Structure 1
Amino acid sequence: MIVDSSLDEVKKRENALSIIKNIVETEGRSSLFDLTGLSGGFIASPSEISLLETYVGPAIFEEALQEAGIQHMGGEKVIALNRTSSGILATILTLVNKGSNVVHYLAELPAHPSIPRSCKLVGADYSETDVFDEFSIPENTSLVVVTGSTMDHKVIDEEEFKKVIEMAHERDIPVMVDDASGARLRTVIFNQAKACDLGADISITSTDKLMPGPRGGLMAGRQELIDKIKVKVNQFGLEAQPPAVLAMLNGIKNFNEDNLINSFSRKEELYELLSKKFDNFEKTPTGVMISPEGLCNEIDAKHDLSDTDLAFVFSFILLKDYGIITIPPVSMPGASATIRFDLSTKDAFNLDLNDLNKKIESSFDKLQSVIANEEKCREIVFTS
């Protein structure tokens, strides 16, 4: 395999960032097209930036974030975190006992790796399923987890969502919702209720997913639990710092539902264009995607690469040759290698979809021409 460990994934990401830096320095930012759906942003005025001091910043912006965050997420109180994964870790450290069970229901396996990893840290027994009829809550369960929208944007059925919450609450077990993108995807595109309004005790979202905010996490929920979790957050330095809090606040204020709705319609056009050449692209709520397995099924040339390696090589060709950023090159270890072309990002608004289709086709043709040469593929992934 080309990418065979977490260290390889880190090195792959470092190379991707180096490529991005080089494109910006030599061709300008306009030559990059971030289609990850995670492009985020940092919106701040000069007067706001002048207040980003260690204690002044939190005093001003954290209070304002309470109102905006509750409006966006529901619940009684919010906490700003440096990552969504940080909120998941802090919640599990707070609520989960060693030797107890954590059970997780989601629309499609696997869960985000931060959840089982956090359970392993505290010595809890973790299980997950995407088959509702197989979901159950065993004795000695300390936490039930629900994912609102998976890493590949598979959205949970709202009725099943409510039933899982009811099952947990019948036994006085708290429910944590990983709503990283779902806090916007579920509510805007699928007209579902906010997780806290459905009865979830804790809900966590990523403030750079499908919104113009920074890479960070925002947790909402019952005040009693939020206060307990906040202790762990502060003990382990998991809290968001003033600049991120400000950017979260302005990201929420500038979130535009119409951008998601418009991408919902544009995806049909891109999907139809791609379907003329490919059989395995799938629609997502805000664009199109192709899984590593689907990409492998499109390949005619002989090769010895794994499905995930194919996805990494393909996505690096897109980045190097056309400045198209997808998730696999820049992702953290353990993330899905599915290649998504998200049309809700600001870069996507300026893209001609016929041109994008041609670039995807050209990149695929180049992939087929190099995959017999594993050393060449390794060079594409690991060298600038």
Structure 2
Amino acid sequence: MIVNNSLDEVKKRENALSIIKNIVGSAGRSSLFDLTGLSGGFIASPSELSLLETYVGPAIFEEALQKVGVEHMGGDKVIPLNRTSSGILATILTIVNKDSNVVHYLAELPAHPSIPRSCALVGANYSETDKFDEFSIPENTSLVVITGSTMDHKVIDEDEFKKVIEMAHEKNIPVMVDDASGARLRTVIFNQAKACDLGADIAITSTDKLMPGPRGGLMAGCEDLIDEIKVKVNQFGLEAQPPAVLAMLNGIKNFSEDNLINSLERKDELFELLNSNFENFEKTPTGVMITPQGLSKEINIKHNLSDDDLAFVFSFILLRDHGIITIPAVSMPGASATIRFDLSTEDAFKLNLNDLNKKIESSFKKLQKAVSNEDECREIVFIS
């Protein structure tokens, strides 16, 4: 194996960022194509930037964020956070007791690793399932978690969503929704209601996923519970700083549903092009993807790499040779190694789909040549 642990994942990401820096330095930003769906952004005017002081910034921009944040997410009140994972941690620190149960329902396993990791920190018993018929809430449960859209964009059925919330509330158990991309994906593409409108006590989204905001988290929910969680957020330094708050505010203001809707037709076109040479690409709500297992099935050369390793090597060839950024190259430890080509991003609309198809084919051919040489693959992933 090439990537064996979280430290390897950190080193892998550092190399990807180095490659990105070199591409920008030598060929300019226009030579990069961020197809992660997590490209985010930082929209700010000069007059707004002049207000980014320690206390002036929050006084002005956090108040403004309350209005647009509640409109975007529902609920009574919002908290801006430095990561979605920070909000998940703060919620679990606030609500979950040692030795109590946390049960999680999602459309497809696994959950984002921040959830079980946070439960482990407080000594809670954590379980997750993607089979609705097997979902239950045992005694001594302190929190029910729902994922609106998984890391690979599998979206929960809305009827099941509402039923899990009802089951929890019948036992007076609060519900937290991890709606990282779902706050936009579910509502725009699948016409589902906002999590808080469905009855969730807390919902959190990532402000860089499928919208032009910064890497950060925005939590919405019942005012009393939001206030309790905010205490933990401030105690542990999990709050978003003024620049991120400003960028969240403007990211939500500039979010366009049209980009998600317009990606639907383009994904079908790209999927058909890829089907000429591949058998294991799948459609996502806003693009196409290939799982590590699917990529492994495409390889017809003997090798000793794991499925995830194949995805990492493929993602680095795409980045190094064509400036295409996919999640496995730049992801944090524990993230899915599925390679997604999200067509809702600004960079995606600059790409001709025939050209993108050729770049993917070319990168796969190089992957095929490299897989039998583990040292070469290790160099691709770890050395700029």
Q: TM-score, normalised by structure 2?
A: 1.00
Distance 1:370 1:328 in 2: 18
Partner of 1:273: 273
Distance 2:30 2:162 in 1: 44
Partner of 1:368: 368
2:64 is the alignment partner of 1:68: no
2:217 is the alignment partner of 1:221: no
Detail structure 1 runs of 4+ shifted over 3 Å in the superposition: none
Partner of 2:204: 204
Distance 1:107 1:350 in 2: 32
Distance 2:58 2:378 in 1: 45
- CA shift, 1:341, in A, is 0.1
Distance 1:295 1:316 in 2: 14
Partner of 2:10: 10
- CA shift, 1:302, in A, is 1.0
Partner of 2:379: 379
2:183 is the alignment partner of 1:183: yes
Distance 1:369 1:113 in 2: 33
Partner of 2:299: 299
Distance 1:47 1:306 in 2: 51
Distance 2:217 2:126 in 1: 23
Distance 1:58 1:265 in 2: 41
- CA shift, 1:345, in A, is 0.5
- CA shift, 1:264, in A, is 1.3
- CA shift, 1:265, in A, is 1.4
Distance 2:381 2:370 in 1: 12
What amino acid does structure 2 have at the position aligned with 1:163?
K
Partner of 1:356: 356
- SS of 2:248's partner is helix
Distance 1:190 1:233 in 2: 32
- SS of 1:144's partner is strand
Partner of 1:241: 241
- SS of 2:228's partner is helix
Distance 2:105 2:370 in 1: 40
Distance 2:301 2:86 in 1: 42
What amino acid does structure 1 have at the position aligned with 2:68?
A
- CA shift, 1:215, in A, is 0.2
Distance 1:376 1:271 in 2: 30
Partner of 2:88: 88
2:121 is the alignment partner of 1:126: no
- SS of 2:51's partner is coil
Alignment RMSD (CA, Å)? 0.3
Distance 2:357 2:323 in 1: 14
Structure 2's unaligned 5+ residue stretches are none
Distance 2:369 2:349 in 1: 31
Partner of 1:148: 148
- CA shift, 1:350, in A, is 0.5
* Deviations, residues 229-269 of structure 1 (Å, cap 9, x unaligned): 00000000000000000000000000000000001111000
Distance 2:220 2:263 in 1: 27
What amino acid does structure 2 have at the position aligned with 1:294?
G
What amino acid does structure 1 have at the position aligned with 2:174?
P
- CA shift, 1:295, in A, is 0.1
- SS of 1:270's partner is helix
What amino acid does structure 1 have at the position aligned with 2:19?
I
Partner of 1:170: 170
* Deviations, residues 16-46 of structure 1 (Å, cap 9, x unaligned): 0000000000010000000000000000000
2:98 is the alignment partner of 1:105: no
Partner of 2:282: 282
Distance 1:265 1:217 in 2: 30
Distance 1:349 1:373 in 2: 36
Distance 1:298 1:372 in 2: 14
Partner of 1:257: 257
Structure 1's unaligned 5+ residue stretches are none
Partner of 2:34: 34
Distance 2:365 2:313 in 1: 12
Distance 1:99 1:382 in 2: 40
- SS of 1:340's partner is strand
* Deviations, residues 204-250 of structure 1 (Å, cap 9, x unaligned): 00000000000000000000000000000000000000000000000
Distance 1:319 1:335 in 2: 18
Partner of 1:319: 319
- CA shift, 1:99, in A, is 0.4
Identity %: 85
Deviates most, 296-305 or 135-144: 296-305
Distance 2:8 2:341 in 1: 24
* Deviations, residues 320-354 of structure 1 (Å, cap 9, x unaligned): 00000000010000000000000011000100000
- SS of 2:289's partner is strand
- SS of 1:107's partner is coil
- SS of 1:128's partner is strand
What amino acid does structure 1 have at the position aligned with 2:279?
D
